[in-house]
Structure formats: C-alpha cells, structure tokens
Structure 1
Amino acid sequence: MAAGKVTESRILIVGLGLIGGSLAAALRAAGYGADGEGEILACDPDEREIERGIEMGLIDRGGTRLAPLVEDAGLVVLAVPVLAMESVMTELAEALPQAASDVVITDVGSTKAAIRDAAVGVFGGLPANLVLGHPIAGSEKSGVAAANPELYVRHKVILTPTVDTDPVAVARVQALWAACGAEVLEMTVERHDQVLARTSHLPHLLAFSLVDTLARQDERLEIFRYAAGGFRDFTRIAGSDPVMWRDIFLANREAVLASLDDFEAGVARLRRAVAHGDGDDLLATFDRASHARHYFESLLNQTSYQAEYQMQQQGKLTFRASPGGRVAGRIRVPGDKSISHRSIMLGALAEGITEITGFLEGEDSLATLQAFREMGVAIEGPHQGRVTVHSVGLHGLKAPSGPLYVGNAGTAMRLFAGLLAGQAFDTELTGDASLTKRPMGRVADPLRLMGAEIDTAEGGRPPLHLHGGKALRGITYDMPMASAQVKSCLLLAGLYAEGETRVREPAPTRDHTERMLQGFGYEVQRQGDTCWLRGGGRLTAAPIDVPADISSAAFFLVAAAITPGADLVLEHVGINPTRIGVINILQQMGADLRLENEREVGGEPVGDLHVRYAPLRGIDIPVDQVPLAIDEFPALFVAAANATGTTRLREAAELRVKESDRLQAMADGLAALGVDNRLHPDGIDIVGSGRSEGASYAGGRIDSLGDHRIAMAFVVASLRASEAIVIDDCANVATSFPGFVELANKVGLSVSQGSEEEA
C-alpha cells in the first residue's frame, strides 16, 4: 500500500464506528504513524468507543467534543450517519476559524446530494477544501470493535469533486484512500446517487421488504426453517443497521424512488408473463439476467468476459513461446467468428426458433449475443457451441436500457450500425479501448445517404449514436475499398429500407451475409461485382452449423507449413471461395496443402485441410487474393519469413486500420527477431531465411499492441526461432480464439502464459 503518500501530520476521524474505525485500522496497517510523525485522532459521542479505539491501537487520542481536535488536524474525515452530517458540519464550521487554513474535509456518506446540500446550507456555499467521497465497502457488523484493516483493499472509493474543488485537496484525499488499498474514482454527485440507488440502496430495500413480508406470515417458522442458501445470501444484507439505512433511503429519496419504479415495472412484466404462461418472455428475462450477472462478476474479478477487462492483477497477459517443437495430429479449431456473429443477428430477426451449432464462444461473439439479449431476444446457451435463438422478427427488437457494448468486435459494431439504423428506437454502440480507435465513417457515411441519423466521436470513431425512427431508402453504393463489413452493414440496413439497396465491391469479399440471408429465405441477387436486395421482406428461422474458422485455422496451417516433419489435419474448416486466400497463397508458395472431404453445410462449403511440411518460396502475392486473405496476413508474414527469397505484398492498406496497424506491428516484430523487411504504405517486402532446418531467426520480445492476430502469429514464429519469443498484451486472443494456447500445446508447440512481470 502507498502509505508514504499520506503526508498529513494529523488525521481526525469524526465517528468511530465500523467505517471510521476501519479507516484508522487501514492507516495503521499501512504504517501511518509508525515513525511517530503521524497521529490519528477521533471524535465520537460515545466515550467508550474512543477508549476502545485507543486500547486497540487504532487512534492516538480523541474525545467527544470536536473543536479541540479540529485545531490539530490537517485532514478531517466525517464518518457519521448521513442525517447527522448537517449538525456535525455546523459544529465543524464553528471550530474551523481557529484551525489551520489548509485543513481538508472529506466524508464517507453514501448519498452525496443530501450531504452537498447540507454543506451549502452550513457554510453558505460548497467549500473548496471539502471533497465529498464514498467508500463502497461495509459490513453487517458495527462499532469500532469490528474495525477491519482490509475493509477497503481492492474496493472502490468514489469522490465527487466539483469544478471549484481545490485540486490539492482532492489529491490529499486520493492519497488517504490509496494508502488503504482502495481504487479511487471520480463522478458527479448526481451520477453517484443514481448508480448507488440502483446497485446498493434498492437491493437493501428489497431485502428488508422480503424478510419483513415473510416474517409476518403465519407459517414464518416453516418458511425460515427450510430456506435454502439462495434466500440466506439474498437476505443477508437485511441484517444491516436499520437506523443507518432509514437515513440513507430518506436522504437519497428521489433516486431510490426512480430505481424502485424501474424495479416495479420489471416485476410487473414478470407477473404478466407468469399469468399468461409466456415462457419466451420469462426465458428472455432470466437468460438476460443470468448472463448479465456473469458479466458483472467478471468485472469484479477482472476475469475474461470482455477483452477490455481480461487483465491479470499483476499486469497484462503475456505469452512465452519456446523454440522447436513439432506440429502433428487432427484438430478442429473454434467456429467461424464472422458466421457466429451473423447467426445471432439474422437468427434474432427471423421468425421462429433458430438452432445454432458450432457457435464460437469467444469474447466478440458473446458480446453480440449479449447485445441481443439486451434488446429483448430470448437466447439459450451457448452450451458447447449450441445456441437456441427465440427469434422476434425484423421489427421485434426492443430498445436496450443503455449503450450496447461490443468489446473488441469491429465486425459486430459495423454490422450493428446497419441493423440498428432501421429500428424505431435510439441506440448507442460502444466498445473497448482498441475498438474506439477504429474508423467507423466507412459505414456511417453511406448509412447517412440512406437516411440514417448517426453521430460519431471525433474522426468518425466510436461510440456511435444511432437515432431511431428514420425512414431509410435504398441506394446504389460503390464501395471505395473492398470490405465485407461495409457491404454487410448496408445489406442489413437495406432490410428496413424502401426500394433496392445495391452494393458494388471493387474486389470480391466474403459473402457470408448473402448466403445466410438466402438460407433464411430472404432473396439476395448478384450480378458480377454487385449484389442487391429489396427491403420489406421476412426471414424464416433455419438451423445453422457454423464451420471452423479459416482465420483461426491459418495459424496452424502456417505452423505445419514451416516446421520440418509436420503432418496436421484441420477438420470441418469453412472454405468459402471468398475466404480461401490463405490457402491459395500458401499453395503458390509451395506448401503441401490439400483439401479433403469437401462438402456443403447450411449453404457454406467446408472441408478438411491436410498440410505437411515442404520448403516455401517467396512470391509476389496476387492482388486479387488480398481481400480473400486480409485477416490471415499476420500468419502469412511468418510463412514469408521462413521462405526462400522475398515475399512482396501490395494494395493491402486495409491492414493499417485493423485492431492495430498490422503492417507496422508485424514489420516491427519481424525486425525485432532479425527478419529483414521493408515497409510500404500499402504493403511490405519480407526477405525469408530460406533455411530448411534449424532456426530461421532470433528470439526476442514483441509488443502485440493488444491485437490477437499479431500475438498468435508470433507464437507460430517461435517454431523456427533460436530462442524464446515473449509476446506482450495478449489478452485479446480470447476475442477470436478461446483455447488457443491449449490447442497450440496439443499439436506440439510450447506456449505458456502469465503476467508481464512473470515473463
């Protein structure tokens, strides 16, 4: 803990109950006052609490009167009940003129507007040295005897300074709580009270009400005797201090009532569903709540639900890939991410029940699934790749209660933009730090031509604000660059548009959207480089079997292609003609790669890919293959580094606006390993080692820039490195390829993962 940052000579805690006592205990545990230079004072109306605090070693001295203690204090913490704040502040205001001029005042109250208003009434305005705060921590126990030095460790403390609050005062309060091991955040007073009303005050109110209701039943003894753990867990908080919670509910009355109104509306919906036997409505609510609870828990534990939060407590996730190894066996990589996204989107808009198998349970796909739950779609699963979507039809989506978070999924955001542009309600689309840097003007601009109203952040970047209720009209759009995401976005918007929506692409791009629309019975036509559809139709639910993702398979294709003695089969891989650029390019480089067991599943061609080691040669990558392999180039660059001669890529500027600038990231990473390369605005030249055995380049440390494909490409590169390759910032691998490390080790690579400090 950062005890050294607390420079106050004396800290006065007013109110030596659980919160105030635990603050004193935490400061003591952090070493405050150990050198005799820092002193903790306390004021409490109960003299016995002061005596107990001194006996426990938590405070140095104290008393029941505030004025004598304020004179010696540099920082005053008001840890009294909310409704007692005004009287304490009045006493404090009378004592302050005799105190040091730089005294800082803060509080721990859980309702900030009431305390702010009390301060304004007492002081005639909000003092610049008053920093309102609230530690999100507590216990059912009370009194200084229950003081816990760990109470604030890894808990949040919310400060609510105004524009007039002294920044030095804020910094001193931040240092106080940081010394106790807390995470210090800031928000406005109004936002704090709204959030706490929903997440803390309302649950306590409901727990008190439920226990009181049951306790007044004639059969209450039987009810409580057989109550299960769930009842005990939910009602535990009803054992909290009744007086304190009475004060909180009264002080935060308006926000609590607003939260209670929302809750009562939700209960009323459930009551109607039960009364009418509406199983789909019940399932939609329960499933949405269940997965929201898992998401909430992942935020608390910093575990992986969205890549944004998949951070180890000690640092970012790092891979360590050791050189050597062999590549052999038969494996099936996870389901195709592009098709998984679309299966949920179109499945939700169809009429009937859509059964999906092979669904990719990665972070991006789960974000799409959760977004549709938030728009009222009942979804069962995923369970081992199986998902059941209780479809609502083209016009059955409901307004979400807040922004839709799509994590790191650029595909989801761009496709959602088209789908939501035609809805009757407003929507905000947001994502993680990486996604908010990616351009969205390429979809926003043509959607505006169709009549959509869309606001973006500076530079056309997320978040996107889509204003509903706009009449869309079909357009003919010539895409300036080949992009399946843009094409799909406009086709989805075209479902809601009057007339025809036509999209011409300058080069072939993946056609999963067109194939799936036709699979759901919606007519899509194509002639040459143009595809089109007419709005106003309907989709009918149909089963979807998601093939294995060729983008994920690409890493293992390259692993086998560069490793002497390799013999690997990748099963049930999607080989859509618009996606097989990686196969075509590897074969042109001389890879021993064959397609076996070719067939069609749900309108998508699939097959097994059998690859053995063979020496590779550098080539000039055909321009017509670039759009067909755009996501696979990080892996292909590793193949080029092991080939004989130079591999040249051009007309691939699209790589600069992926999760990272993949041209720059791969050029930097290859250079770190000693691979000669030259970067161009729209491509790269890579000079391969040409070695048929042994190491092709050195080891080293790589920054993946949070880009999952960069991270996985350099794991594959380790097979021919002379020393280990350490890859930083790898948490986002879960967004596209859950289980990558386990599968890589299964086929013969040597990969471990940990924090940056452990690597």
Structure 2
Amino acid sequence: MYNPKRKPNKSPLSQQVCVIGLGLIGASVAQAIKDHGLSPRIVAVDRHALSLAEAMDDGLLQAGSAVLSDVVAGSDMIVIAVPVQTVPAVMNDIAAAMRAGLIASDCIITDVCSTKVNVIEAAQAAFGALPTGLVPAHPIAGAEHSGYHARRATLFVNHSVIVCTLESSAAKAITTVCRIWEAIGAQVMTMSATRHDQILAHTSHLPHLLAFNLVEQLAGHDDNLDMFRYAAGGFRDFSRIAASDPKMWHDIFFANDDAIIKALDTYNDYLQHLRTLIVQKDSTALMGLLGRAQAARRHFGHMLSSTPYTDTSTMSASYTITPSTTVSGTIAIPGDKSVSHRSIMLGSLAEGVTRVTGFLEGEDALATLQAFRDMGVTIEGPHDGELVIHGVGMNGLKPSKTPIYMGNSGTSMRLLSGILAAQSFDSVLTGDASLTKRPMERVAAPLRQMGAIIQSTGEKGTAPLSITGRATAGETLKGIDYDMPVASAQIKSCLLLAGLWAEGTTSVTQPEVSRDHTERMLQAFGYPVTVDGNRISVTGGGTLTACDIAVPADISSAAFFMVAAAISQNSELTLKQVGINPTRTGIIDILKLMQADITLSNQTHVGGEPVADITIRASQLVGIEIPEHLVPLAIDEFPVLFIAASCAVGRTVLTGAKELRVKESDRIAVMATGLQTLGIDCEVTEDGMIINGKGVTDGSYPAVFGGGHIVSHHDHRIAMSFTVASLRASDTITIEGTETVNTSFPDFAGLANQVGMAITVTESESTEA
C-alpha cells in the first residue's frame, strides 16, 4: 500500500528521465519521480518556454528545451505526455534520436495518453518495428485545472494506471514502468491496448462526449440563461468534465473513433429504451431500471475490492468494551436473515408482486437482493425493511452481465447455486476474500448428480463457481434421492430449489432435522412440498405464486441478548416477536437445559413462521452435555453458547459440530483461542469443545473472564459473542475486526449499549493490502 511519508528510493529506477510535455500529467509525473528519488536527473521537452523556465527555477529539471535532441541524450526513460494527435510527430523525433545514438535502442518509451492503439501504430510507423522499450501506459487521474502550475506529486496516489504489455516489450522495461508507477502511489493493472480503448470509450470518453453535448444543448436553448441559473447539483456535477481542454478531447474522440462510435450506438439503444418506458408509462420496468442503476453504482465498488457489501470505505472497526453487570429493557431484534434471503429468491421467481416487511438490511441479505437485480428482477426498496418484488416467473431470470457477487454470504452462494444450475444461461458466482475460502463442493457435488455442470476453484473446491446453463448443456436437470452426510439447511435448500426445475422428484434425506425455512416458504408461495420425517421432496415443473412475507425477528441475533441476560446479575430482557421456528429453537432448548430462566409469550404466526416475545432473566447456569440432536438446531448460536458455558457451574461438552469449522471462520478454534485469552479452561476436540465453566453456586455473578485483546478473524458471530462476555469480565475487552457485524446485525453495538452494555466503536484505516 502507498505510504505518503515514504522516504526517497535508495536505488533510482532510472538514471535520466525525459518528460515530453509539461502539462498537468507530465509535470505531475516529473514531480513525483523527483520527490520519490526515482531518478537523479529529469529533463523535459515543451513548446512553452515559460513552463520550462519555471520548472528549472523550481529545481524540478536539470535541462529543458523545445527540441528533443537538445536534452534527450543519455536518457534511459522517455515519458510522452502530449495530446494524442501529436504522438506520431513525437515518435518520429524519438526514432531520429535513437538513430543518432543519443539514446540506446533499449531506452524505455512510455506514455500517459488516453488512447493506446494509436500510440502503438505511431511507434510502428516511426521505428519500422516496435522498439523493445515501448510500454504504453495510462494513469486514470486528472484535475479540473491544467498546465504546469496545476501539477501535484500526489495526483496518482491510489488511482489506477493501466499498463499495456506488448509481445515486443522487454520484461525489464515492463517491470521498470510498473515499479515507477507503484512507487509514486498508483495501483497498476494490465490489459491489451485494444481492450483498453474499448473500456475507456465507455467509462471516460463517452461521459466526456455527453457532458460537452449536454452543455452545448442547454447553451443553445432559448431560455439558456435561466437553464444555467436554475441548474441543480446533478447538472453541475456531471457537466464539470465539460470544462476540460477541448483540443485534448477533440484529439481523443478522433483517435478512438471506432470504440466511441460503438459506445454511442449502445448508449443510444439504452436511451431509446428509456424513452419508450416513459412514453408507455411502464412504472414497473422504469423502477427496475432506476433501482438496478442505483444499487449497481455502489455494488460494483465492493465487488471489485472484495469488501463487505455494506462497507462504504476502506475502514476496519474494533470494539472496546468496558465491563458492565446488568442488562434490562424491551427491544426489537432485526429481521431473520434466513427468511430475508429466501423471500428475495422465491419472490423473484414467483408470478406477481411479493411484498416483504421486516427485511434484514444487513450486507448478506443485500447481496442476495443485488444478485436478483443483476438478473433483471425489479425490486423496490428496501425502505425501513419493506420491499416490493416484481416476480419474473420460473423462467424469467436473465443472465448477469458480470460475475454475481455474494459478498460474505455463504447462504446466498449455496442456495443460488441450485437456482442457477437449472437456468438456461451461464453464470459465475464470486464473493469476498472470506467467502472464497469456504467449501462449495458440498453443494456442487450433488448438483452434478442432478446433471448440473458446475466447476469450483482449486483443490479445496471453493468459489468462484462457474455454472453452465442447462440449455448449453443440452438437457434439463434430473431429480435425485440424496442422503445428506451432514444436517445442513444450505445443502438441503440448494437441492430443493434446483429440484423446482428438474424432471421428476428430488428428495433429500437429512441425518438430523435442520432449518425448514425453505420448505415453509415454498408452501407459502403455493409450491407443494412433501415432508416425511427427515425426508423432504419436491417435484419439478410447478409454479410459484406471489404472496406477502412478514420476516420475523432473527433468533440467531436474539441469542446474543438471551445469553447476555442469562449470565448477568439482576437482568431481565424482553425480545419482541422473535421467530421460534422449531428447527431454530436449539438455543432456547440448550439454555433451558442449562437452567436458564426463559419464558415465551404472545405466541402467534407471521408469514407462516411462529413468533413469540422471549423474556430472559438472570440465571445460575449449569454445564451440560449438549444433545447431538440439538446441534443442527443451534449451529450458528454456539459461539455465544460457549460464553454461556464459561459462566456455568461445571463442564459443558459439545460433540457433532464439525459444521462449525467451515463457517466464516473455524469457529471452534477461534472461540477456543479467545476463551483461553480471557482465562477460560477449554479443550478443542475433532467435532466440538469441552469447556470447564467458572460459575459458582452461591447465587453471585463473579467475573469469570479476564480482560484481553480478541481477534475475531472478521467473523461477525465471534465478535458479538465476546462482546457478551464483557458482562462477566474483570477488565476491558477489545475485539478486532468487528466491521463484519453488519453482515447479520446492523447497529448491534447501539442496541447493546441501549440495554446497559458499554461498547465504544473505533474505526481506522485498514492495514490489509
């Protein structure tokens, strides 16, 4: 990562750099090279004598002239920073200097031009054969002001620089150019010259062309004075780039004419489509277009940087928690993540309009929402947990134009794999750095048994996943009978969703009961599901009918507050309308076995899911051997249950929980390390953990944890669990890597502080590359 305080290089990368053109970019390159000690000698060529004189007076240059041959002798690197239309003349001058022996035949020749194919063609014409030192480059940076006086050595810091590697380029030349750009703070990427010109035509040249045209259009209007007087911020922001140098852009538009014309034609097609939607007053389609554009603007930034979906910066976060002893109050927990995921998926595939309330606006669920927007589904919201999904039917999804980014959500990737395996188009599923380390063969392998063509990555079978559409494969999926090796709602749901399109019946038999949200919601959308004990079946070829979904509060999120109240003295918390789906209540059953004081009230059903108010009071917990049949029903809650076990009297033993090792982190190993840091005696086993609790039997609630520094490994449940531990800690606990808490529980810290905890959130620049 670039360090603005780095010292000049001890070993220069060039003995003499010759910069041709001392405008904003050329002068900024020269200044950056000087400030970073990348060359002991810099010379320049420019037609403006005043700029050269000032650069000499400023100590930037050792020599300057309007004629290349006057100063270029001895240069081992030339940087061309002139308008694109003058590049051929410059290349002719450089070729002449090389023939005259002023520079070596392997002298590095690079540039900063906005087009690349014309630079290469100019070099070919001037030299006859491309010189080995030619390495075209383009820094994606600029400023409103131009000229020598506008130069900034930091202009390129954290900006991209595209380097176009040629077959004719010497490896040393490519390496040197890349190292110089990296040394002055730029982020180097490589691509072909043709690809560069195509991409820049869409992302830079077309916007500038449109900005010039819009200003010209308004300036030519009869009411032009009022047009500009009352122009809103959007016009000012967009038209700012029309203040750029007309001559420079005139040259660029002609130099890259083929790619720009294609970009204009594509833009015109989109513009005509937009006109049609407005003329026809097609509200649904227009809302879909606007919603997808709004979400995509933020979404692609996270996809490219592989950052958590709701993260809007490069900040990392940590918690500092001062011990407190009591929690109390009545609070509402955010919506259930599992139900939120499925409401998007089935609502998108249904016929008609589905309205969702209580939707969890955490990054995992938002990743699922974005995925279906990418596949052409119109989704309004979320607004305060409300969504309106305009379903496209079972065969209405469209291929995403880019890899589908799942952020940190394993549920999204695994369930969506089942849906995409049955579509008629190819797909690629990817995610952030954490998700791409998690196993995906557990869904890919049985999908292949159904006839899916799906490829995972590397020996461990991780994302990205490449899925070939069934139309490409020439056949549909076939229903199978699958005996699951482990009880996993994600595997089960993936296969059941794929089975909606498969020929015949798909049956999944699970060794233990797991979450049944998919089965319940399929039935709510009118799709028949057969449940025979632990065997669940669907028959392909049916349809989904839109309905309204009310998402209950998430019991997995409620678990942190349940344990918090149970382990702290004089505590009483009521959690409103929490989902108590019987396949999710393992946390309640286990805490009751540990003698926690828990009562349920106001029990009802919301959107096909049972809900209740849960009240938890301070309890003298006891250690237990956790029944294995409860393990799948509390798989996500075990990190915080380990906190409860540490506060219990006696030993708690967990077995049959290998699934915990392949979550966002190895939750068994990470929790054990953290517990030991805080002074808890625990032992990791192959499929679980043994914890020797430090509770007492005299009715008091002494501290059982010491203070310490916890590394959460960016696992949201690890971070929240150790936050709860502070209620029985003797000293301050700090937790590193808490920015991922938003994956499942937005504003967890605020809600925890509301009921009596003392969490300080600290943000800092991420130290990760």
What code does the residue aligned with 1:634 have? P
Structure 1 residue 123, shift from structure 2 partner: 4.2
1: distance between equivalents of 2:437 and 2:167?
29
Partner of 1:617: 622
Partner of 2:97: 95
Partner of 2:156: 152
SS in 1 for 2:595: coil
Partner of 1:749: 757
User: Per-residue CA shift, 1:490-526, capped at 9, x if unaligned?
Assistant: 1111111222221111110101111111111111111
Structure 1 residue 636, shift from structure 2 partner: 0.8
Partner of 2:372: 372
SS in 2 for 1:732: helix
Q: Per the alignment, do residues 225 and 693 of structure 1 end up closer, same or farther by CA in structure 2, a change over 3 Å counting?
A: closer
Structure 1 residue 252, shift from structure 2 partner: 2.8
Q: Is the aligned partner of 1:547 residue 2:548?
A: no
1:325-340, aligned counterparts within 5 Å? 325-340=325-340
What code does the residue aligned with 1:12 have? C
Q: Per the alignment, do residues 128 and 649 of structure 1 end up closer, same or farther by CA in structure 2, a change over 3 Å counting?
A: farther
Partner of 2:712: 704
Q: Per the alignment, do residues 530 and 159 of structure 1 end up closer, same or farther by CA in structure 2, a change over 3 Å counting?
A: same
1:23-422, aligned counterparts within 5 Å? 23-27=29-33, 30=35, 32=37, 38-55=40-57, 57-96=59-98, 97-99=101-103, 103-162=107-166, 165-166=169-170, 168-295=172-299, 306=309, 311-312=314-315, 316-422=316-422
1: distance between equivalents of 2:127 and 2:729?
69
What code does the residue aligned with 2:586 have? G
Partner of 1:726: 734
What code does the residue aligned with 2:22 have? L
SS in 2 for 1:98: coil
What code does the residue aligned with 1:749 have? M
Partner of 2:436: 436
User: Per-residue CA shift, 1:653-677, capped at 9, x if unaligned?
Assistant: 1111111111111122222222211
Greater shift, 192-201 or 157-166, is seen at 157-166
Gaps of 5+ in 2: none
Greater shift, 417-426 or 317-326, is seen at 317-326
1: distance between equivalents of 2:299 and 2:79?
34
2: distance between equivalents of 1:497 and 1:207?
50
SS in 2 for 1:731: helix
Structure 1 residue 413, shift from structure 2 partner: 0.7
User: Per-residue CA shift, 1:240-264, capped at 9, x if unaligned?
Assistant: 2222223223333343334333322
SS in 1 for 2:267: helix
2: distance between equivalents of 1:536 and 1:733?
39
Q: Per the alignment, do residues 659 and 128 of structure 1 end up closer, same or farther by CA in structure 2, a change over 3 Å counting?
A: farther
User: Per-residue CA shift, 1:590-615, capped at 9, x if unaligned?
Assistant: 21122122111110011111111112
What code does the residue aligned with 1:157 have? V
Greater shift, 574-583 or 157-166, is seen at 157-166
Structure 1 residue 220, shift from structure 2 partner: 4.2
Q: Per the alignment, do residues 617 and 126 of structure 1 end up closer, same or farther by CA in structure 2, a change over 3 Å counting?
A: farther
Structure 1 residue 27, shift from structure 2 partner: 4.7
Q: Tell whether the 8 Å contact from 1:79 to 1:109 is kept in structure 2 after alignment.
A: yes
1: distance between equivalents of 2:291 and 2:735?
37
Structure 1 residue 758, shift from structure 2 partner: 11
2: distance between equivalents of 1:699 and 1:226?
59
2: distance between equivalents of 1:77 and 1:105?
6
2: distance between equivalents of 1:199 and 1:147?
24
2: distance between equivalents of 1:402 and 1:757?
29
User: Per-residue CA shift, 1:111-147, capped at 9, x if unaligned?
Assistant: 2333234334444555444332211111343321332
2: distance between equivalents of 1:129 and 1:753?
51
Alignment match of 1:576 (pick from 581, 584, 606)? 581
Partner of 1:599: 604
Q: Tell whether the 8 Å contact from 1:590 to 1:616 is kept in structure 2 after alignment.
A: yes
Alignment match of 1:667 (pick from 653, 668, 672)? 672
Q: Tell whether the 8 Å contact from 1:71 to 1:100 is kept in structure 2 after alignment.
A: no
Structure 1 residue 632, shift from structure 2 partner: 0.8
Q: Tell whether the 8 Å contact from 1:303 to 1:309 is kept in structure 2 after alignment.
A: no
SS in 2 for 1:598: strand
Structure 1 residue 756, shift from structure 2 partner: 6.2
Q: Tell whether the 8 Å contact from 2:394 to 2:543 is kept in structure 1 after alignment.
A: yes
Q: Is the aligned partner of 1:738 residue 2:738?
A: no
What code does the residue aligned with 2:113 have? G
Q: Tell whether the 8 Å contact from 2:36 to 2:183 is kept in structure 1 after alignment.
A: no
Q: Per the alignment, do residues 697 and 756 of structure 1 end up closer, same or farther by CA in structure 2, a change over 3 Å counting?
A: farther
Q: Tell whether the 8 Å contact from 2:106 to 2:131 is kept in structure 1 after alignment.
A: no
User: Per-residue CA shift, 1:679-698, capped at 9, x if unaligned?
Assistant: 11111111111244332122
Greater shift, 77-86 or 512-521, is seen at 77-86
1: distance between equivalents of 2:559 and 2:257?
58
Q: Per the alignment, do residues 304 and 740 of structure 1 end up closer, same or farther by CA in structure 2, a change over 3 Å counting?
A: farther
Structure 1 residue 550, shift from structure 2 partner: 0.9
User: Per-residue CA shift, 1:307-350, capped at 9, x if unaligned?
Assistant: 677531xxx32222222342111111211111101111111111
Q: Per the alignment, do residues 200 and 757 of structure 1 end up closer, same or farther by CA in structure 2, a change over 3 Å counting?
A: closer
1:449-460, aligned counterparts within 5 Å? 449-458=449-458, 459-460=460-461
Q: Tell whether the 8 Å contact from 2:580 to 2:611 is kept in structure 1 after alignment.
A: yes
Dislocated runs of 4+, deviation >6 Å: 297-300, 302-305, 756-759
Partner of 1:479: 484
| Identity value in percent | 51
Q: Tell whether the 8 Å contact from 1:3 to 1:27 is kept in structure 2 after alignment.
A: no
Q: Per the alignment, do residues 757 and 489 of structure 1 end up closer, same or farther by CA in structure 2, a change over 3 Å counting?
A: closer
Q: Per the alignment, do residues 434 and 471 of structure 1 end up closer, same or farther by CA in structure 2, a change over 3 Å counting?
A: same
2: distance between equivalents of 1:495 and 1:53?
71
Structure 1 residue 584, shift from structure 2 partner: 0.7
TM superposition score normalised by structure 1: 0.93
Greater shift, 652-661 or 694-703, is seen at 694-703
What code does the residue aligned with 2:352 have? G
Q: Tell whether the 8 Å contact from 1:303 to 1:310 is kept in structure 2 after alignment.
A: no
Greater shift, 727-736 or 501-510, is seen at 727-736
User: Per-residue CA shift, 1:533-553, capped at 9, x if unaligned?
Assistant: 222222121111111111111
Q: Per the alignment, do residues 70 and 361 of structure 1 end up closer, same or farther by CA in structure 2, a change over 3 Å counting?
A: same
What code does the residue aligned with 2:64 have? G
Partner of 2:543: 538
Structure 1 residue 20, shift from structure 2 partner: 1.1
Structure 1 residue 187, shift from structure 2 partner: 3.8
Greater shift, 526-535 or 117-126, is seen at 117-126
User: Per-residue CA shift, 1:28-47, capped at 9, x if unaligned?
Assistant: 6x4659xxx83332111232
2: distance between equivalents of 1:590 and 1:131?
72
SS in 2 for 1:606: strand
What code does the residue aligned with 1:47 have? A
Structure 1 residue 173, shift from structure 2 partner: 3.3
Q: Tell whether the 8 Å contact from 1:641 to 1:688 is kept in structure 2 after alignment.
A: yes
SS in 1 for 2:447: helix
1: distance between equivalents of 2:220 and 2:344?
47
Q: Tell whether the 8 Å contact from 1:380 to 1:387 is kept in structure 2 after alignment.
A: yes
Q: Per the alignment, do residues 229 and 436 of structure 1 end up closer, same or farther by CA in structure 2, a change over 3 Å counting?
A: same
Q: Is the aligned partner of 1:564 residue 2:565?
A: no
What code does the residue aligned with 1:131 have? V
